Amino acid sequence: MNTPTPYAGPSDSGSPLGLSDVIKHLRHDLRTPLNQMIGYSEMLVEHAEENGPPDMLEDLRRLCGAAGEILTVLNDALAQWKVEAGKVDLIALRRNLLGPLNAFVGYRDLCAEAARLRERTEISADLQKIEQATASLRRLLETELFTANPSTPEAIAVAAGTATVAPFSSSLSPTPSANAPVSAWGRILVVDDEPLNREMLLRRLNRMGFTTTGVENGQKALDLMSRESFDLVLLDIMMPVMDGFETLDRLKADRKLKHIPVVMLTALDEVASTVRCIEAGAEDYVPKPFNPVILRARMGASLDKKRLRDQERAYLAEIQSERAKSERLLLNVLPRAIGERLKAGEQTIVDAVPEATVLFADIVGFTRIAASFTPARTVSLLNELFSEFDHLSEEAGIEKIKTIGDAYMVVGGVPLPLKDHAIRCAKMSFEMLASMHRFNLRHQFQWQLRIGMHTGPVVAGIIGSTKFAYDLWGDTVNIASRLESHGEVNVPQVSEATAELVRKNFEVEARGHIELKNRGKMKVFRLLRPL
């Protein structure tokens, strides 16, 4: 007869697998079939409570009770403090498990016989799954690890979780189609390499009201999630191909998938694993065997958080969209540099600019022209022409200030300084005349422009508190306007100050002196052509 002795596995320093690692894998291997035994027993009780037969209910409840006692014995024998203190006695664990395990098998047999006599095939099917899980647990308890001190690599392999158990194949796994409607609860992806675990979870979650899909490893989960949408992932840790740790890391590193909550559902219940998963981004950690009520509550909490995060992302997207619209509107009303200053918090924007060139253009005889068109036609024609002028000002890098009826005003060197502001305005004046010519050809008109330009200091700034407008003030503006109104048709007229700045790039001709209101006589020049 073997004398029970504390398990003395490989030391932490003398073997690739230390004692804590061996116990960790052992606990996982034992809890995996036990999780199946408990889960299917609980579902059978729920089924009998809803659908009968009532005379089987008591034995099914006893079956659940025996499974719970097995879990209690297992948790006590492999408690973390016993692992750390070196007081794990695996021989005693086997002995203490035999009583509740035999009771569990006895109740299972009673229920199986009752189901057979009553021809309840759906109950018999689940009891067969329970029998297979029980057989897996018994096989583990019959290894050398539980009958003597582990002395062979094979025994260590079983303890470390590397021993293989014959796979279970079931045709009853209810994996919904990709086109199944998503319920109000949400769509759940179950990732577990154990077919029994997966089938049990899918059934239980379907009963809770979820739409479910199951896969057997992390790689398949990632592949599926790249194609389909899920609201939550239930993720096992110890799996082939890609384990739960790596799957979680890759999920949280993926910009499109990282927002999906992940609940770790695993028989690996050590503290270090829990901490690692939470730090990696898992929403929660539920050890197997799990309490269905607790699992549902934690899934519900995770889904509620996801819904809030989804709403937050939607609100943020809406805010960003509205902000982009506001910015576009702001930039349509104000120069970009001024808009940026307003967004930065400046309340009052007034700039004294020492030198800028102001250009005014006006359609000759527009009052008479407008009288021959309907108001809608008049506005449409002006919009067409001035839209072309807007494009020219953008290309020239000078700022449109405003339109006043049929007058068009731009400035070079405001709000951003430009060394060649006069040259840019002069160039635009000829492009405006070319644009007017094309406009006339399209509509068979004979519209004409007067253009005036002057260079000097201006004051620029924002006026208005609810309806912003960027405008210019000063004598330079007034002179440019007078030069336009006293100009010749289709010939840009400039002041002496402007002429001096552009004469190297344009042919300039002195026109003489003209009388300007409130200014007296002023020497003016014609711009004839670019050089």
Q: Are residues 293 and 258 in the same domain?
A: yes
- Does residue 357 lie within any of the structural domains? yes
Given this model, what pLDDT does residue 476 score?
95
CATH number for the domain harbouring residue 288? 3.40.50.2300
Q: What is the pLDDT of residues 469-485, one digit of tens each?
A: 889 999 999 999 999 99
pLDDT digits (tens, 9 = 90+) for 320-376: 887 777 777 666 677 778 877 877 777 788 899 999 999 999 999 998 888 899 999
Q: Is residue 167 predicted with pLDDT exceeding 80?
A: no
Domain final residue, candidates 266, 297, 312: 312
For residue 165, the cross-strand partners are none
In a domain, 200, yes or no: yes
Sign of CA dihedral 5, 11, 17, 18: positive
Which of 85-89, 216-220, 233-237 is least confident? 85-89
**Bridge partners, 451 (sequence order):** 361
Same domain membership, residue 400 and residue 296: no
**Is 463 a residue whose pLDDT tops 50?**
yes
Q: Per the domain annotation, does 167 fall within a domain?
A: no
Q: Residue 455 in contact with residue 422, Cβ under 8 Å?
A: yes
Q: How far is residue 400's CA from residue 383's CA, in Å, rounded to a whole number?
A: 14
Do 304 and 393 reside in the same domain of the chain?
no
For residue 264, the tally of other CB atoms under 10 A from its CB is 26
Q: Is the same domain home to 267 and 119?
A: no
What is the 8-class DSSP label of residue 470? E
* CATH number for the domain harbouring residue 402: 3.30.70.1230
Q: Measured in whole angstroms, how far is the alpha carbon of residue 383 from the centre of its chain?
A: 42
Q: CA-to-CA distance for 231 and 209, rounded, in angstroms?
A: 13
148 versus 448: the higher-pLDDT residue is 448
pLDDT tens-digit profile of 178-207?
Answer: 333 434 457 899 999 888 888 888 888 887
The answer on 348 and 493 residing in a single domain is yes
Q: Are 469 and 346 part of one and the same domain?
A: yes
Tell me: the pLDDT tens digits for 85-123?
777 788 888 888 877 888 888 888 888 888 888 888 888
The secondary structure of 44-78 as a DSSP string is HHHHHHHH--GGGHHHHHHHHHHHHHHHHHHHHHT
Strands 449-463 and 350-363: antiparallel
- Considering the domain boundaries, does residue 5 fall inside one? no
Task: Yes or no: say if 73 and 95 are a contact pair by the CB < 8 Å rule.
Answer: no
Q: Token pair of 405, please? A: 């009826």
Looking at residue 412, its pLDDT comes to: 95
pLDDT of residue 434: 95
Is residue 138 situated within a structural domain? yes
Same domain, 395 and 479: yes
The answer to whether the CB of 362 falls within 8 A of the CB of 410 is no
Q: How many structural domains are present in the chain?
A: 3
For residue 187, the SS3 value is strand
Same domain as 146, residue 26: yes
| Domain shared by 212 and 110, yes or no | no
Q: Looking at residue 159, what is its pLDDT?
A: 44
Question: What is the rounded CA–CA span in Å between residue 491 and residue 509?
Answer: 11
Quote the tokens at residue 250. 């890759």
Does pTM top 0.85 for this prediction? no
pLDDT tier, 163 (very low <50, low <70, confident <90, very high otherwise): very low
Please indicate, yes or no, if residue 465 is contained in any of the structural domains. Answer: yes
C-alpha separations of 369 from 41, 361, 377, 448, 451 in Å: 92, 16, 11, 11, 18
List beta partners, residue 407. Answer: 362, 404
Burial, 175: exposed, middle or buried (Cβ in 10 Å; 0-12, 13-18, 19+)? Answer: middle
In a domain, 10, yes or no: no
Choose between 356 and 34: higher pLDDT. 356
Cis peptide upstream of residue 415 (ω within 30 degrees of 0): yes
Last-in-domain residue among 139, 159, 179? 159
Q: What's the mean per-residue pLDDT of the chain?
A: 82
CA–CA separation, 164 vs 194, rounded Å? 12
Helix (H) or strand (E) holding 263: strand 262-266
Q: Is the pLDDT of residue 256 over 80?
A: yes
Residue 178 domain flag: no
Helix H or strand E segment including 39: helix 19-51
DSSP letters, 101-159, are HHHHHHHHHHHHHHHHHTT-HHHHHHHHHHHHHHHHHHHHHTSGGGTS---SHHHHHHH
Q: What is the pLDDT of residue 205?
A: 85
Q: Is the pLDDT of residue 176 over 80?
A: no
**Same domain for 40 and 149:** yes
**CA 484 centroid distance within chain:** 56
- Report in angstroms the alpha-carbon separations of 130 from 136, 288, 295: 10, 16, 21
Domain that holds residue 56: 19-159
Give yes or no: residues 411 and 476 share one domain: yes
- Write out the H or E segment, with its range, that includes residue 394: helix 375-396
Are 420 and 497 within one domain? Answer: yes
- Which two structure tokens, joined as six digits, stand for 210? 């979820």
Alpha-carbon distance 67 to 70, whole Å?
5
The confidence score (pLDDT) of residue 172 equals: 31
